[in-house]
């Protein structure tokens, strides 16, 4: 008897845990803790996926309650008791068999119809007046071009709130996948093909994103940020990005850094407007205006810039930017120059 009682208590505790744990986890989940959660939509596209998820979860709960209810009812109603005969067995009941064939088909309809509608909705053409951004995936960073505004930047995409943004997705090398969870679904970035995706952000703020397709050694280091800002702030940002780069005094640390930039080979891969034409690596004309470097994996400060320049492949495995064996003086003057490029 004691063993039975203990067993029952244990079962009761387990049952409560099963009920309470998901609640605790759900309450504890915030987008601060999980900046790449898909459960805090911030665009029309992301909301349409969220509504679809809500619909699916609703039907899943209905099915769960019905099936588990029937199961529990059966177990209790027909449980063994001393002296009780076996319940009547049912075989080949036509009505039952027709019912449990039709019911799942109807339920699948409830799920399939909104799913297909959402696919059509999110694949539709963008509204007129959408801001066009050409996104180019690189191993392992993101390039953002605003062809009509004459701006090229990297890893940090700026867009105005409440305006549709049409991204045209291309790659410089292998398949990547463009994904800002708060803005909507993933979309592959495929060689020799331009995919497109559009969304309208409904909240200002900074949102995390990353490549969602295994694309080589530093796939996990191919991150990006989305800055959704007011139309005024966006216009100001565009103006600042269109300005020519800062021209440092040749005797200052930044000036020495510019000389080093021209000397050690940076020019072959990086564009600084009016200084160098390289297009292999990120455009650095206004690199100091960005908050991160190296595929948005490090903060853009003197310490991280210096460590990056010393040995890029050590900081980001497989990095195409080689170790240029820079002297500490070259590193510190290059850092000064890059930090002056606001
Ligand atoms: Cu690019 Cu993974």
- What pLDDT, on a 0 to 100 scale, did the predictor assign at position 3? 57
Q: How far is the CA of 296 from the centre of ligand 1 (A)?
A: 13
pLDDT tens-place string over residues 255-288: 999 999 999 989 999 999 999 999 999 999 999 9
- Say how many C-beta atoms besides its own lie within 10 A of residue 223's C-beta: 19
Protein residue with least CA distance to atom 1, ligand 1: 176
Q: Which helix (H) or strand (E) holds 226?
A: strand 223-229
- What pLDDT, on a 0 to 100 scale, did the predictor assign at position 49? 94
Q: How far is the CA of 217 from the centre of ligand 1 (A)?
A: 9
Could you say which residues of the chain have pLDDT below 70? Answer: 1-5, 25-32
Q: How far is the CA of 169 from the centre of ligand 1 (A)?
A: 13
Question: d(Cα 222, Cα 205) in Å, to the nearest integer?
Answer: 21
- What pLDDT, on a 0 to 100 scale, did the predictor assign at position 4? 65
Q: How far is the CA of 230 from the centre of ligand 1 (A)?
A: 30
Q: For 125-191, where are the E strands, in sequence order?
A: 131-138, 141-146, 151-154, 156-160, 164-171, 176-178, 187-189
* Phi, psi angle pair for 191, to nearest 5°: -55, 145
Atom of ligand 1 nearest to the CA of 220: 2
Atom of ligand 1 nearest to the CA of 214: 2
pLDDT tens-place string over residues 295-330: 999 999 999 999 999 999 999 999 999 999 999 999
Q: How far is the CA of 324 from the centre of ligand 1 (A)?
A: 25
Atom of ligand 1 nearest to the CA of 176: 1
DSSP 8-state class, residue 287:
G
Q: Which helix (H) or strand (E) holds 82?
A: none
- What pLDDT, on a 0 to 100 scale, did the predictor assign at position 210? 95
For the chain, the farthest-separated pair of C-alpha atoms sits apart, in whole angstroms, at: 103
Asked if residue 222 has its Cβ within 6 Å of ligand 1, the reply is yes
CA distances from residue 51 to 54, 257, 287 in whole angstroms, order as listed: 5, 52, 39
Q: How far is the CA of 179 from the centre of ligand 1 (A)?
A: 10
Asked if residue 290 has its Cβ within 6 Å of ligand 1, the reply is no
Q: How far is the CA of 275 from the centre of ligand 1 (A)?
A: 30
Atom of ligand 1 nearest to the CA of 189: 1
Asked if residue 211 has its Cβ within 6 Å of ligand 1, the reply is yes
Cβ atoms of 285 and 271 closer than 8 Å:
yes
Asked if residue 176 has its Cβ within 6 Å of ligand 1, the reply is yes
């Amino acid at each position: 008897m004691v063993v039975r009682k203990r067993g029952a208590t244990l079962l009761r505790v387990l049952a409560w845990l099963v009920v309470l744990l998901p609640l605790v986890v759900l309450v504890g989940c915030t987008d601060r803790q999980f900046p790449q959660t898909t459960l805090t939509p911030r665009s029309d596209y992301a909301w349409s996926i969220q509504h679809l998820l809500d619909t699916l979860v609703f039907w899943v709960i209905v099915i769960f309650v019905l099936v588990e209810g029937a199961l529990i009812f059966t177990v209790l109603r027909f449980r063994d008791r001393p002296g009780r005969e076996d319940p009547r067995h049912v075989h080949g009941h036509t009505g039952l068999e027709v019912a449990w064939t039709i019911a799942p088909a109807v339920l699948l309809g409830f799920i399939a119809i909104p799913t297909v509608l959402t696919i059509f909705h999110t694949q539709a053409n963008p509204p007129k007046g959408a801001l066009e951004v050409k996104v180019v995936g690189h191993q392992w960073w993101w390039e953002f071009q605003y062809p009509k505004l004459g701006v090229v930047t990297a890893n940090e995409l700026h867009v105005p709130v409440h305006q549709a943004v049409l991204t045209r997705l291309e790659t410089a090398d292998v398949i990547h996948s463009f994904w800002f969870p708060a803005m909507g679904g993933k979309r592959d970035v495929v060689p020799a093909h331009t995919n497109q995706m559009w969304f309208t952000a409904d909240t200002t703020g900074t949102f995390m994103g990353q490549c969602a397709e295994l694309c080589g050694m530093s796939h996990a280091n191919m991150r990006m940020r989305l800055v959704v800002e007011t139309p005024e702030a966006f216009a100001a940002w565009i103006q600042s990005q269109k300005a020519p780069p800062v021209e440092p005094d040749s005797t200052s640390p930044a000036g020495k850094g510019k000389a080093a930039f021209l000397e050690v080979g940076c020019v072959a891969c990086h564009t600084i407007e009016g200084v160098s034409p390289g297009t292999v690596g990120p455009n650095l004309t206004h690199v100091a205006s960005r908050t991160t470097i190296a595929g948005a994996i490090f903060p853009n400060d003197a310490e991280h810039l210096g460590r990056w320049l010393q040995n890029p492949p050590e900081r980001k495995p497989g990095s195409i930017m080689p170790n240029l064996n820079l002297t500490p003086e070259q590193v510190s003057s290059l850092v000064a120059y890059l930090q002056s490029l606001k």
